[in-house]
Copies of this chain bind each other. A is one copy, B any other.
Amino acid sequence: MEAGKPNVAFAGLGAMGFGMATNLLKCGYQVTGYDVYQPTLDRFIAEGGKSASTPSKAAEDAEFFICMVVNAEQAGNVLFEKYTGACLTLPKEATILICSTVAPADIDVFHKKLERTGRTYLRLIDCPVSGGAARAADGLLSIFAAGKEADLVHANQILECMSSKLYKIPGGLGGGSKAKLIHQIFAGVNIAMASEAMGLAAAAGLNTQEAFDYLKYSDGNSWMFSNRVPHMLDPSLPPYSAINIIAKDVGIITSTARDWKFALPMLSMAEQLYTTAISAGWGKEDDCVMTRLYLPNRPDLVTEQVKSSKTSETPQLQFHDIKFLLIGVHVAVISEAMTFCEKLGIDTDIMFDIVSNAAGSSAMFSLMFKDMQKENWSLGALHSTDLVRYQLSESVRKANAIRYPVFLSSAALQEFYRQLSTFVNTARIG
């Protein structure tokens, strides 16, 4: 502990939280951890931290209270529970940092509850994170922070310690959660789409390793595609991220969209796929097992076809047909996510920076974002999106002809058609 560094309380020492809290120790903060699981607290003490048996005990004398529990319900309990909530003991001017991914509406609830209980002497920052456990432990997270300007300045040092990319989202409390949700629209669609694409390669009898090698260097690539497919090809790799994890975020987004009465057809499609996988009992498995949904009778086909002799094409389907599906879905999700971004009042240029540097990125995102921004995110206004639509429609047709279901690609194609009907373009393709 360095002289002058403020005391920090940290609730929720899970995979991400433990890394974040130990990284704070490395930065020289004195950190008191709270978690329901005693072995984790013991491990945290071994790393040089302190522990407390309740949030209120951890919060005593803390200048910052970081909340990294699993959901909004737990965050509410940690902060406000009658005899043990952190708010009971947090000193004046202390700052609560909500790092858990919660709905913007939850941030609003927390803020109102502070006001209603006369605790306006506490500061509140809405600052969800992104990046995974390894980056958490190294202080290399992306953080989307929102709140009062003075509070953000006050918390700057601790936010900087945890992050390599710190985005301050204008517009006050809730902006951090909104930015995180918009980013997760890309993540939620692209993870499932990686399975849809690779399942198709397998169903067509193609060599899935070579398909991946082709696609990851193509315009069909996404961060998630490059990241997840190796796990499909080699299931002996250690699990990366469970279906339950992305499904949780997706559920927060669709629930927020329902509050706004806003249509998210692509993400809602992905949500039903995740729900099917979870109801099949795969919730705790690596999300790359979503391929099984697409290959009900041959669940391991993507792995088996790593050694297929059909290296580049079959009469029915070629590598580039799969690329066209990925491109179409990645473009359609730009339209969906960024229209919602504007609806939520989040600056789209900041969102460009966030997604470009994070797990929601894709080749098409970099290529198309700026042109689509000028056209209000329409899928029917550009010559380039006409071409994307035409190639998508051909590939959907080919996939269905070999009886392979393309849930997301088909949903994307419907979006192109719908938006097309609102535009008349002189140089229509296809």
- The residues of A with any CB-CB pair to B shorter than 8 Å are 203, 251, 255, 257-258, 261-265, 268-269, 271-273, 275-276, 278-281, 293-297, 389, 393, 397, 400, 403-407, 410-411, 413-415, 417-418, 420-421
- How many copies altogether? 2
Taking a contact as CB atoms under 8 Å apart, the answer to whether B400 and A275 are in contact is yes
Given contacts A255-B397, A414-B263, contact A297 B272 (CB under 8 A): no
Taking a contact as CB atoms under 8 Å apart, the answer to whether B403 and A275 are in contact is yes
Given contacts A272-B405, A405-B275, contact A265 B262 (CB under 8 A): no
Q: Which of B272, B397, B413 contacts A407, CB < 8 Å? A: B272
Q: Which of B255, B261, B273, B410 contacts A420, CB < 8 Å? A: B261
C-alpha gap A251/B397 in the complex (Å): 9
Taking a contact as CB atoms under 8 Å apart, the answer to whether A413 and B279 are in contact is no
Taking a contact as CB atoms under 8 Å apart, the answer to whether B275 and A421 are in contact is no
Taking a contact as CB atoms under 8 Å apart, the answer to whether A417 and B263 are in contact is yes
Taking a contact as CB atoms under 8 Å apart, the answer to whether A404 and B275 are in contact is yes
- Kindly provide the distance from the CB of A46 to the nearest chain B CB, expressed in whole angstroms: 38
18 A-B residue pairings within 8 Å (CB atoms):
A251-B400, A258-B417, A261-B389, A261-B420, A265-B414, A268-B413, A268-B414, A269-B269, A269-B407, A271-B400, A272-B406, A272-B407, A273-B405, A275-B403, A276-B296, A278-B403, A280-B296, A411-B411
- Residue of B whose beta carbon sits closest to that of A279: B403
Taking a contact as CB atoms under 8 Å apart, the answer to whether A410 and B271 are in contact is yes
Taking a contact as CB atoms under 8 Å apart, the answer to whether A404 and B279 are in contact is yes
- Kindly provide the distance from the CB of A103 to the nearest chain B CB, expressed in whole angstroms: 13
Residues of B within 8 A of A413 (CB): 258, 268
Residues of B within 8 A of A268 (CB): 410-411, 413-414
Residues of B within 8 A of A258 (CB): 393, 397, 413, 417
- Residue of B whose beta carbon sits closest to that of A389: B261
Q: Which of B271, B280, B281, B410 contacts A272, CB < 8 Å? A: B410
